[in-house]
Homo-oligomer: A and B are copies of this chain.
Amino acid sequence: MFALKLATRAKSLAKRLPNATCIKLIHTQNVLYKNKSDDILNVDIRGESLQFPNVWLRENCQCEQCYHTSAKSRILDWSNFDINVKPKDVSKDQNSLQITWNDGHRSEFNLNWLKLRGFTPENQKNYTETIYKPKKITWHSEDFVKIFSKHDYNEILNSDEALYNWLHKLSVYGAALIQNTPDSETAIDAVINKIGFPKQTHYGVKFVVRSVPNTSNVAYLSSNLQLHTDLPYYEYCPGANLLHCLVQTATPGGENLLSDCHYVADYMKENHPEQYKLLTDTEIEWRDVGIEDGNEFFKLHREPVICLDRHGDITRINFSIPQRGSQFPGPIELVKPWYEAHGLFLSLNHKFAAKFKTKAGEILSFNNIRLLHGRNAYEDSENNVRQLIGAYVDWDEIYSRLRCLKVKLQNEDGIY
């Protein structure tokens, strides 16, 4: 209350004083205009000096005319918006910052909300790693036993914390295992419903992995399945793969191989920079042609093996020997060097891959745009036909569920 009273007095004084004095008065409350520019406001929040642009503050006004509370969306009309807007009066109390603008509009901001949106690299990093997406941790074969977490099917269905833990491990390490899954072709559905909904592809909403003669996809052969990502020929490639093992083969074959391409890419960047550059720069055409349930498809998508964003961070891995098209959409001089880089990438993935064999009742979940996965050849017998039920979920839905659970479990102020 004291701070509010002070603020009111400052405002009434400010009306009668020239601009310079106004700044000084506001300064006494730890709020001031930056001298070098009239466009930025300094605010002390819990001992930290933070800067906020006026235009950003005005556009993110949280009042009912500017922000729709139930839609949690900005509703401010840009046809009347002035990007040169200036604060006329500024005040602060223990929990909020109040601004009256030169157009007469009044805004109030929660200080925790402001701090979380601070423009310092530290505040932005904190927001990115706690709210946007958990930071990935890379691994190779020797680390696999440590990072490969086990989760219980029933706990995931019944506890927000168990669901959060599974999805968090999956997002950080790119792989996690669910155990004690009921022996049913629909058991995987309940897990997906806890996240949101499955991603449909031209192979359907769910798919059965079983040896099939005359297949339209090489995954349905029982021979050695070389390391790959699924469906690289989709521009909107499935984010995560869930594979529920209903029947595992009794023969020595059928083991899974998993490799963290973020580790392999870092390794290549350091030890084989030219090959790394070829795999990040050269567009490849990924392809799938066939027919499934009467639906013909002819998918093509062009992207490098290692896709980077503007910060040089990996966004997606594309790799599949069978589903790399014969069209090479680049200059002929790149072809042989690219094949060399491709061969190196494949052999490094083999070198750093983890090997294990899922059991019946286990769901292997992994990041399909980060890991390569493969399977050794196996043989079915009359009484032992290997069978998996597979489904995909997009990272959009997984990250969304993680954020909702985080808000629920940690109940932090100022996130929205």
Contact present for B346 and A78 (CB under 8 Å): yes
Q: Which residues of B contact A124 (CB under 8 A)?
A: 329
Using CB atoms, name the residue of chain B closest to A224: B77
B396-A234 in contact (CB<8A): yes
Q: A76-B321, A236-B396, A299-B400 are in contact. Are A343 and B71 (CB under 8 A)?
A: no
User: Which residue of the partner chain, among B53, B197, B221, B290, contacts A335 with CB atoms under 8 Å?
Assistant: B53
Is the C-beta of A94 less than 8 angstroms from some C-beta in chain B?
A: no
- Measured CB to CB, the closest approach of chain B to A374, in angstroms, equals 11
Q: Does chain B have a CB within 8 A of A211?
A: no
On whether the beta carbons of A71 and B216 are closer than 8 Å, the reply is: yes
CB of A39 closer than 8 Å to a CB of B: yes
- B residues less than 8 Å from A162 (CB atoms): none
**A206 close to chain B: CB less than 8 A:** no
In the complex, per-residue mask of A187-198: 1 if CB is within 8 Å of any chain B CB, else 0: 000000000110
B51 near A332 with CB under 8 A, answer yes
Q: A322-B68, A340-B83 are in contact. Are A296 and B74 (CB under 8 A)?
A: no
CB-contact partner of A236 in B216, B327, B394, B416, under 8 A: B394
Q: Are B71 and A215 in contact (CB under 8 A)?
A: yes
A235 at the interface (CB under 8 A from B): yes
Q: Looking at the complex, which one of B55, B59, B234, B322 makes contact with A71 (CB distance below 8 Å)?
A: B322
B197 adjacent to A290 (CB under 8 Å) = no
- How far apart are A134's CB and chain B's nearest CB, in angstroms? 13
Taken residue by residue from 155 to 196, chain A's Cβ proximity to chain B (1 for < 8 Å, 0 otherwise) reads as 000000000000000000000000000000000000000001
A203-226: which have CB < 8 Å to B?
214-218, 221, 224, 226
> In the docked arrangement, what's the CA distance between A301 and B239, Å?
14
Chain B residues with Cβ below 8 Å from A215 are 70-71
Q: Does A4 sit at the interface, judged by CB under 8 A?
A: no
Interface-facing stretch out of A125-133, A141-149, A257-265 = A125-133
- Chain B CB within 10 Å — which of A73, A296, A346 has the most? A73
Chain B residues with CB under 8 Å of A216's CB are: 70-72
Chain B residues near A322 (CB-CB < 8 A): 68, 71, 73-75
- Is there a chain B Cβ closer than 8 Å to A104's Cβ? no
Q: Is the CB of A78 within 8 A of B327?
A: no
Q: A83-B336, A296-B404, A298-B404 known; A73 and B323 CB under 8 Å?
A: yes
Task: Please report the C-alpha to C-alpha distance between residue A39 and residue B332 in the assembled complex, in whole angstroms.
Answer: 10
Task: Tell me the nearest residue of chain B to A299, going by C-beta.
Answer: B400
User: Do residues A132 and B236 form an inter-chain contact, with CB atoms below 8 A?
Assistant: no
- Please judge, given known A-B contacts A71-B290, A302-B132, A321-B74, whether A202 and B400 are in contact too, CB under 8 Å: yes
Contact B75 A218 (CB under 8 A): yes
Whether the Cβ atoms of A127 and B327 lie closer than 8 Å is: yes
CB neighbours of A267 from chain B (8 A): none
CA distance A326 to B415 in the complex (A): 10
Distance between A227 CB and nearest chain B CB, rounded to angstroms: 9
Query: How far apart sit A168 and B108, CA to CA, in the bound complex (Å)?
Result: 50
A356 at the interface (CB under 8 A from B): no
Name A residues whose Cβ lies closer than 8 Å to a Cβ of B. 39-40, 51-53, 55-56, 59-60, 68, 70-78, 81, 83, 116-117, 119, 124, 127-128, 131-132, 196-197, 200, 202, 214-218, 221, 224, 226, 234-236, 239, 281, 283, 285, 288-290, 295-302, 310, 321-324, 326-329, 331-332, 335-336, 339-340, 343, 346, 394-397, 399-400, 403-404, 407, 416
What 15 additional pairs, Cβ within 8 angstroms, besides A70-B216, A73-B323, A83-B343?
A55-B339, A56-B326, A56-B335, A73-B288, A74-B321, A78-B226, A117-B326, A127-B329, A128-B329, A132-B302, A234-B396, A296-B404, A298-B400, A298-B403, A298-B404
